[in-house]
């Protein structure tokens, strides 16, 4: 496939009518097709996709997750995965000790999605409101959260009685990694589930033909 070539991006509606947008595409490192047009153009295409799908889906469920540390340093169980196992009664927490450090939890979605909002379930039984307050939600292509775009911040006055926090990105953010992060603090992060609400299909999964 030739880089920087115009392709036609096709979507078939429920009556088998062909809809399309012409986009600029390049080869991605993994061999898939990547879109390199502007965010505004991508958002237009994503909105079109949503007209012919069931809407946003939680694309984080059962995906690979990790975190900066475990509350029990000797724990051998995969604690980070409790944040994407679909069970809001199973929770995970990072280890703090007495040191100021960066605390983070991250899910790898496996490929890029157009993410619109993120729901983080609080560990109410642990008084977790204070353990999620001021946490940043970031989305992007880097495993380093600081390199990714900010979706939103859980309020600093978050209460331990809040069962979940729904963080809206305001607009679609495109990325593979979604993180919950608190920088330079002695307070750990505690959460029970992270739902990443995104368009359920990627541009590369639809039909892209030479114009």
- Which stretches of 37-131 are assigned E, i.e. beta strand? 57-58, 64-67, 92-93, 101-122
Asked if 118 contacts 137 with a C-beta cutoff of 8 angstroms, the reply is yes
Which tens digit of pLDDT belongs to each residue from 108-144?
999 888 899 999 999 887 655 568 989 999 999 999 9
Percent of the chain with pLDDT over 90: 39
pLDDT at 104: 94
pTM over 0.85: no
CA distance 139 to 151: 7
- What region does 145 belong to: left with phi over 0, alpha with psi -120 to 50, or beta? alpha
Percent of the chain with pLDDT over 70: 62
Tokens 């958002």 -> residue? 43
Residues paired with residue 70 on neighbouring β-strands, in sequence order: none
Q: What is the DSSP letter of 158?
A: -
Per-residue pLDDT band at 31 (split at 50, 70, 90): very low
Angle (CA) 175-177-179 rounded to 5° is 125
Asked if 144 contacts 130 with a C-beta cutoff of 8 angstroms, the reply is no
> Which residues are within 8 A (CB) of 55 and not within 5 positions of it... i.e. 6 or more apart?
none
pLDDT at 34: 43
Average pLDDT, the chain: 76
> Which residues are within 8 A (CB) of 14 and not within 5 positions of it... i.e. 6 or more apart?
52
Q: Count of CB atoms within 10 A of residue 107's CB? A: 25
What the chain holds in terms of domains, given with CATH numbers, is 5-55+201-210 (no CATH), 58-198 (2.60.120.260)
Tokens 């600093």 -> residue? 156
Q: Where are the alpha helices (DSSP H) in 52-198?
A: 129-132
CA distance 21 to 130: 46
Asked if 178 contacts 139 with a C-beta cutoff of 8 angstroms, the reply is yes
Q: What is the DSSP letter of 202?
A: -
With 0-12 CB in 10 A as exposed, 13-18 as middle and 19+ as buried, what is 24? middle
């Amino acid at each position: 496939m030739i880089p920087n070539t115009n392709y036609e991006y096709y979507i078939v509606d429920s009556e088998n009518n062909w809809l399309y947008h012409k986009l600029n595409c390049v080869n991605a490192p993994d061999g898939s097709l990547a879109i390199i047009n502007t965010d505004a153009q991508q958002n237009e295409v994503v909105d079109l996709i949503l007209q012919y799908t069931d809407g946003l889906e939680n694309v984080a469920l059962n995906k690979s997750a990790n975190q900066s540390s475990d509350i029990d340093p000797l724990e051998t169980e995969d604690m980070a995965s409790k944040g994407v196992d679909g069970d809001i009664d199973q929770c995970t927490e990072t280890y703090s000790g007495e040191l100021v450090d960066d605390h983070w939890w991250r899910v790898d979605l496996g490929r890029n999605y157009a993410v619109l909002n993120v729901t983080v379930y609080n560990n109410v039984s642990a008084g977790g409101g204070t353990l999620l307050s001021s946490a940043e939600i970031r989305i992007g292509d880097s495993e380093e959260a600081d390199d990714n775009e900010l979706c939103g911040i859980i309020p600093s006055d978050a209460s331990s009685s809040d069962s979940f926090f729904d963080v809206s990105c305001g607009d679609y953010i495109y990325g593979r990694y979604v993180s919950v992060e608190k920088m330079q603090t002695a307070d750990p992060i505690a959460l029970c589930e992270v739902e990443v609400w995104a368009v359920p299909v990627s541009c590369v999964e639809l039909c892209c033909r030479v114009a």
